[in-house]
Each structure stands twice: as structure tokens, then as C-alpha cells.
Structure 1
Amino acid sequence: MKFFKYLFLLILLVFVVGSLYIATISVPGEKSINFETPLKAELFQIKIQDLSTYETWFSFPEESTSKPRLSNPENFENTTLSWQNERFEAINFQNKRFTEDSIIQQLVLKTWLSSSEMDINWTFVSSEKNSIIAVQLYSDASFMQKAEYILKGKSHIEIAENAIKESLSRLEDSIHKEISVYDISPVGKVVTGGFHLIHATSAARLNFESILDKSRPIFESVENFMQEQEFKESKGRIILFENFYEDENSLIFSSGIGTETPVAIPDYFEVLSKPISRGTYFKTQLRGDYVNLKQLLSISEATIEKRDLVINRFLKPFLEFEIDATETVSPAELVTNFYVPILE
């Protein structure tokens, strides 16, 4: 009888000492992730706030044992994505709120032994070169989470941190594939022109990255000028090539905004106005990223030659940005038209 009494006291002592030890264990309550990418941060934001996309890019290391279930997709603040895997009996992502450049979510992880609630704060910062997706994770570890930490060697917040890091890399690869898709289509002969271009002129080698870099501030400056003067825009952003057929080392181009009528511009403004003559042009369209503009020119010239069309050198070719970066963050959705003047 005494043996069982001592055994009981020993078990009780081990339990008390073990409980005290578990209570003193320090489990990380906060984790930070900074994911750097050359892509626009807004492209990540669109995917991350849409929980229906998670099945294609987000996962924990263990295999899933159930199909993800999306609830309340019509209500952002209550949209929930739930599934199970080999380690967790329940994984629940829930959107809470968002601003222009951040998303706050809650992640609940549940095992047979413990459950945890994590606040996840995503912040998206875009720049000219690289963007940053910053992630802050917050969680208070319960007694049972600490016990599980001792048994498993990893806390829930550490597992979530590693899963987010790996999943962001997969998401980056997925976005790369989406935006690399492009299509170049010869449209054919069209009659266009007959409008005026409010512009500023610059020069660069035939390098579209350089041409676009020099054109963007010009576009913005001209748009601001037109808004201030209450001039009506009719054709959007255009780059007119001044000496495209002259085989010069440097390409002179005029970047600006099209308007239907001539505009009198005071001398103290750094923009000019010129007519774009009406005529017959051969139109080729690019749907996709601007990195494919060189192919757009090549295909346009090859098609014109193949169809035995003659270029009209008295008029000037131009690019028209039908859908540009001011209207979409996805390069796959850009639409650019190239017009080459031809003789009838």
C-alpha cells in the first residue's frame, strides 16, 4: 500500500515540477518576415487578400488531408479558409480588415493537444526597383502550446513563419508565370491620326526601358498641366518617334497626351503641342508586359514587309498605351498599340 502511496506522490511531484518547468518555458510570441521581390507589391496584395487563391500557393510543410473550404467570400472581414493536414486538425485563415497598403488576418492552428490564435499583419511597400512584403506575426503561447513545444521542438508561430516564407516564394513564381504571358497580334490597316499631341521631346538609344523611364515623368507632367488648364484628353499616353527611319544612333521621341483640338500653350510652360497627321497606318497590338516592346516592333516590321506594304516616311510611327500602368498593376493586362504609317 505504501508503494502505491509513494508512487502517487512521485507522479504528483513529477507533474508539479513538470508543470512549473513548462510554465517557465519561453516561446516566441512575435515573428517578423521581410520578403524582397522585383515584382510590384500590389500583385502580392491582390492574391493574399483573396483567400480563394491560397490553394494554388500557400501550404504548410505537412500534406493536406482535406480540401480547403472557403466561407463567406462575399464579405471580406468574415471570409474564412479552412482545411486540415497531417499535423493540424484545423487550419483557419480569416480576413479581418485591410487598408490601401496592408491586410490584417487571423490564423488559428489546432492540434490534438493545443490550439493557437495568431494575428498576421501584411504590409506592402512598392519602389522603383524592389518591393517589400513585410509580415508581422503575433501570438500568446498557452500552457498547452508550451507543452507541445517541448514535445515537438517547434512552436505554432515558428511553423507559420516558415510556411509563409516558403509560400511567398511559390507565390512569386506563380505571379512571374502569369505576367510573362503575352500576345502580339497584327491588326491590319487602320485610318487614324488627326489629333494633337501635348508633349515634351527627349532622346535615347533604341532601348525601350530607357525610353519608358524618360517618358513616365513627361506623361505625368503633361497630365498635370492638362488638368490645371482643364484641357480634354482624347487619346491617352502616346510616344511619337521623330527620326525612326533615319538610322541615327539616338532615337528622338515625343512623349505626351493626345487631344482633339490644337492648344495654345504659354511660353513659360515646358510642354509643346504638335499635330499628328491623319493617314493610313498599320496597327500591331501587344497584350502584356512592356519588356516585349522590342518583339512588337520586330513583328510589326516583319508583317509589313511580308504583306508588301510601303512605309510612308512623311508621317511618323507612334506607340499608344491603350491600357497602361495607371489602370492596372498587372503587366499581363497592359495593351499597347504600334502604328506604322503606310502608303495606300
Structure 2
Amino acid sequence: MKFFKYLFFLIVLIFVVGSLYIATISIPEEKTLNFETPITAELFEQKIQDLSTYENWFSFPQKSTSEPRLSSAEDFENTTLSWQNETFEAINFQNKNLDEDSIQQRLVLKTWLSSSEFDIRWKFESSENVSNIIVHLKSDANFWQKTEYVFTGKTHLEITEKAITQSLKTLEQTITKEISVYDISPIGKLETGGFYILHATSASRLNFDSILRKSKPIFQSIEEFMKQQELDIFKGKLIVFENFYNDSENIIFSAGIGSKNQVAIPNYFEVLSKQIRSNVYFKTQLKGDYINLKELLSIAEATIEKRELVIDKTLKPYLEFQVDSSDTVNPAEWVTNFYIPIFEN
């Protein structure tokens, strides 16, 4: 009888001492991750706020044991994604708030022994060459989480940190694959022109990266001018190549905005106006990133030669940015038309 009595007290003592030990354990409750990527942060933001995409890129290291369940998809602040895996009896992501540059979410993890609740804040920063996805995790580690840590050697915060880091790498690969899709289509002969372009002129070697970089501030300046003057835009952003067929080392080009009618421009504005004459042009279309513009030019000229058409070198070819980054940040959705003047057969 005394044996069981002593055994009982020993068990109680072990429990008390163990509890005191567990209570003294310190587990980090906050973590900030910084994921750097060359892809614009807005593309990440679109995916991260849409919980229906998580099945394609987000995963914990352990194997899933259930299909993901999406609920309240029509209500952003209550949209919830739930599933289970070999470690957690329940994994629940819930959108809470969407700001101009950040997303707030709640993540709940449950095991047979403990549960944890994370406040997650995704913040998105973009610069010219690199973007940062900043993820802040915050959770209060309770007694049972500490107990589980004693048995497993891993905290829910560590598991979540690893899952987010690896999942962002997967998401980067997914987005890279999506935006690399492009299509170049010869459209054919058509009559166009017969409008004016408000522009500024610059020069570059035949390097589309350089041409686009120099054109961007010109587009912005001309758009501001047209807004000030209350002028209607007839055509969107255009780049007219002035000496494309002169075998010159530098390409002179005019970047600007199309206008239906000629505009009288005050002398104090550094804006010029010229006519794009009506003529027969061969149109080739690129759907995709501007890194494919060189291929667009090559296919356009090869198609013209194949169809035994003759380029009218007295007129100027031009690019038309039908859909660009001001319409969508996804390069796969950009549409650029290249018009080469030809003689009518």
C-alpha cells in the first residue's frame, strides 16, 4: 500500500516539477521573414490574398491528409481555407483585412496536444529591380505549446516559418512560369494611320530595354500635358521609329500619345506633334513580356519576306502598346502591336 502511495506522490512530484520546468521555457512569439524576388510584388499580392490559389503553392513540410476546403469565398474578410496533414489535425487560414500594401491573415494550427493562433501580416514593397515580401508572424505560446515543444523539439512558429519560406519559393516559380508565357501572331495587312502623335524624340541603339526605359518618362510627361490641355487620347502609348531603315548605329525614335487631330502646342511645352500618315501596314502582335520584342521584330520581317511583300521605307514603323503595365502588372497579359508600312500590291 505504501508503495502505491509513494508512487502516487512521485508522479505528482514529477508532474509539478515538470510543469514548473515547462513554465520557465521561453519560446519566441514573433518572427519577421524577408523574401527578396525580381518579380513585381503585386503579382505575389494577388496570389496571397486569394486563398483559392494556395493549393497550388502553399504547403507545410508534412504530407496533407485531407483535401483543402474553401469557405465564404465571396467575403474577403471571412474567407477561410482549411485542411489537415500528418502533424496538424486542423490548419485554418483566414483573411482578415486588405490594405493598400499589406494583407492581414489569421492562421490556426491544432494538434492532439495543443493549438496556436498566428496573426500574419504580409507586406509588399517593389522597386525598379527587386521586390520584397515581408512576413510578420505573431503568436502567444501557451503552456501546452511549450509542452509539445519539450516532446517534439519543434515549435509551431518554426514549422510555420519553414512552410512560408519554402512556399514563397514555390510561388515565385509558379509566377515565373505564368508570366513567361507569350505568343507572337502575324495579323496581316491593314490600313491604319491618319492620326497625330504628341511626342518627344530620343535615341538609342536597337536595344528595346533602353528604348522602353527612355520612353517611360516621356509617356508620363505627354499624358500629363494632354490631361492639362483636356485633350482626348485617340491612340495609347506609341513609339515611332524615325530612321529604322537607314543603317544607322543609333535608332532615333519618337515616344508619345496618339491624338485624332493636330494640336497647337505652346512654345513653352517641350512637346512635338507629327502626323502618322494613313497607309497600308503589316501588323504583328505580341501577347507577353517586352523581353520578346526582338523576336516580334524578327517574326514580323520574316513574315513580310515570306509573303513577298515590300516594305515602304519612306514611312516609319511604329509600336503600339495596346495593353501595358498601367492596365495589368502581369506581363503575360500585355499586348503590343508592331506596324510596318508596306506597298500595297
Fold agreement, TM-score > 0.5 = yes
Deviation at 1:258, TM superposition (A): 0.3
The residue correspondences of 1:1-344 to structure 2 (distance < 5 A) are 1-344=1-344
Residue deviations 1:144-171, cap 9 Å, x none? Answer: 0000011111110111011000000000
Tell me, in whole angstroms, the C-alpha distance in 2 between the residues paired with 1:100 and 1:319.
Answer: 33
Residue deviations 1:110-163, cap 9 Å, x none? Answer: 000000100000001111000000000000011000000111111101110110
Tell me, in whole angstroms, the C-alpha distance in 1 between the residues paired with 2:259 and 2:152.
Answer: 68
Deviation at 1:276, TM superposition (A): 0.6
Tell me, in whole angstroms, the C-alpha distance in 2 between the residues paired with 1:248 and 1:313.
Answer: 14
Tell me, in whole angstroms, the C-alpha distance in 2 between the residues paired with 1:229 and 1:133.
Answer: 40
Deviation at 1:6, TM superposition (A): 1.3
Deviation at 1:3, TM superposition (A): 1.5
SS of the residue corresponding to residue 176 of structure 1 reads: helix
SS of the residue corresponding to residue 88 of structure 1 reads: coil
CA RMSD, 1 decimal: 0.6
User: Residue type of the partner of 1:138?
Assistant: K
Residue deviations 1:195-244, cap 9 Å, x none? Answer: 11010000111110110000001000100111011111010000000000
SS of the residue corresponding to residue 329 of structure 1 reads: coil
What is the total number of aligned residue pairs between the two structures? 344
List structure 1 segments (4+ residues) > 3 angstroms apart after TM superposition.
Answer: none
In the alignment, structure 2 segments of 5+ residues that lack a partner are none
Deviation at 1:101, TM superposition (A): 1.1
Percent identical: 69
Tell me, in whole angstroms, the C-alpha distance in 1 between the residues paired with 2:87 and 2:19.
Answer: 24
SS of the residue corresponding to residue 128 of structure 1 reads: coil
Deviation at 1:285, TM superposition (A): 0.2
Deviation at 1:5, TM superposition (A): 1.4
Residue deviations 1:65-106, cap 9 Å, x none? Answer: 000010010000000000000000000000001012110000
Taking structure 2 as the reference length, the TM-score comes to 0.99
Taking structure 1 as the reference length, the TM-score comes to 0.99
In the alignment, structure 1 segments of 5+ residues that lack a partner are none
Tell me, in whole angstroms, the C-alpha distance in 2 between the residues paired with 1:234 and 1:99.
Answer: 35
Deviation at 1:267, TM superposition (A): 1.1
SS of the residue corresponding to residue 160 of structure 2 reads: helix
Tell me, in whole angstroms, the C-alpha distance in 1 between the residues paired with 2:255 and 2:154.
Answer: 57
Tell me, in whole angstroms, the C-alpha distance in 2 between the residues paired with 1:111 and 1:55.
Answer: 21
